[in-house]
Structure 1
Amino acid sequence: MQPLTATTLCQIAGISRNALYRYHPEVLAALHEAQRSARGPSGAPARQAKLLRQENRELREQLGKLAALVDHYFAAWQDAHLMLERRERELAELRRATGPQVVSMRR
């Protein structure tokens, strides 16, 4: 027995897949429903799949929060980096303005 697919259905009916999708959406919907019911939830695997989907949702939420934290800390780093560059320029200007100074190491 051939698997229950759109391709198989089109071969049996003698039409193209494009014709199925374009002119027979109700047949396609019935096919999808039949595929879903053929798979059907079967105890432990269905529960496992449900748990994995829930875990994926939670991980996506955490990923969103982590991305927001990365953005926050990157912006803070950029601010600190710009501030340090500005301070370095100010120090360089002060050094040029005051000139070199000799400091005695003796007492």
Structure 2
Amino acid sequence: MAWIQEIGQNRGAKSRYFRFENDAAALPPPAKIMAKLGNSYCQLRLYCIRLSDEIVILVNGGRKTSQTVQNSPERMVYFRFASRMAQQLIELIQSGELVLDGK
């Protein structure tokens, strides 16, 4: 929750604060970003869709139970859902059916 507030209120949803996983993204940020900020390892993985520096759609997630999402069947379902949702939104934006306008 602290990272969501920090990004939303202070830093903006800059791409460097997200882990990119296919078309979706995930929080917390990559380990080197977390280390620079003095934060320790986080066991939570929150899948989201970063559409711009101002727009992020929080999708789902949970406690990280393995080093990779491929080794975590429950998280893999969440990851696939977020990735499919991101693909559909990207297609709508590219076709002009969905237009991003600020926040």
Larger radius of gyration, structure 1 or 2?
Answer: 1
Structure with larger RCO (C-alpha < 8 A, sep 6+): 2
Q: TM-score range by the shorter chain?
A: under 0.3
TM-score by length of 2: 0.26
Q: Which has the higher helix share?
A: 1
Q: Which has the higher strand share?
A: 2
